[in-house]
Amino acid sequence: MNVGIVVFPGTNCEHDVAHAFGLLGAQTEFVWHRETTLDGLDGVVLPGGFAHGDYLRAGAIARFSPVMDAVADAADSGVPVLGICNGFQVLCEAGLLPGALIANRDLRFICRPVHVRVEATDSVLTRAAKPGQVLRIPLNSYEGNYVRAEEAPRTILRYCGPDGTIGEASNPNGSFDSIAGVTNAAGNVAGLMPHPERAFEDFMTSTDGRVLFESFLSLAEAAHD
């Protein structure tokens, strides 16, 4: 397994993601945003950060980085593609995922663990998880407030309380329908605002992010074979 981790100017979570995939036995490779091919890679991750400074809108300029044509081609051909936080914003701006992300409801930068509930298991990110499973994963964003496109998005993760209850009280950023993560129609492209790579080892107080990356690798393996 060789997972490509796309690095834009301003990306800052690439090493965390590489470390996490390494813990699961996968090889990783950093892909600079000016690259035009993703040949030889079994999956692609757009990690968190501030691509191109997030000027204009988060992800709006990154969408035009040369590598994004290759990401779109990979997505079309069924290769697993995952966007985490800023990567999620980039995938939305690129039209590879529905919706958009705006400033948090309370205009506060949120940096704390949140709970998310697995709403569907037919995606690259959740296929190894159980329906209704509650995961505790850190959120670290200012523009994580999901607004939907005209069509209803395919939701895979929703913010919830520790017991899985969904409501405004457990919605940290005002996201429409408490959406924390969505997938495309084919299920091979997914994005989420919380950071699974920061819930991977015991010292992080939660290892709940592992099941999401295990899902990703299981689809990458299936696509590879």
Count of beta carbons in the 10 Å neighbourhood of residue 147: 13
Render 92-142 in DSSP notation, one character per residue: HHTTSSSSEEE--TTS--EEEEEEEEE--SSSTTTTTSPTT-EEEEEEEES
Q: Residue 95 or 131: which CB sits closer to other proteins?
A: 95
- Residue 175 beta carbon to other proteins: minimum distance, rounded to whole angstroms: 10
Residue 24, SS3 per DSSP: coil
**92 assigned to active site:** no
End-to-end Cα separation, the chain, in angstroms: 11
Subset of residues 142 to 171 that bind other proteins, contact rule: CB under 8 A: 145, 147, 149
- Residue 194 beta carbon to other proteins: minimum distance, rounded to whole angstroms: 19
Helix (H) or strand (E) holding 202, with range, is: none
Stretch of 37-45, 99-107, 195-203, 207-215 lying at the interface with other proteins (CB under 8 A): 99-107
- Residue 17 beta carbon to other proteins: minimum distance, rounded to whole angstroms: 26
Among 1, 24, 69, 105, binds other proteins (CB under 8 A): 105
Render 134-191 in DSSP notation, one character per residue: EEEEEEEESS-EEE--SSPPEEEEEEE-TTS--SGGG-SS--GGGEEEEE-TTSSEEE
The answer to whether residue 109 forms part of the interface with other proteins (CB under 8 A) is: no
Among 27, 37, 56, 205, binds other proteins (CB under 8 A): 56
Among 1, 23, 24, 103, binds other proteins (CB under 8 A): 103
The answer to whether residue 61 forms part of the interface with other proteins (CB under 8 A) is: yes
**85 assigned to active site:** yes
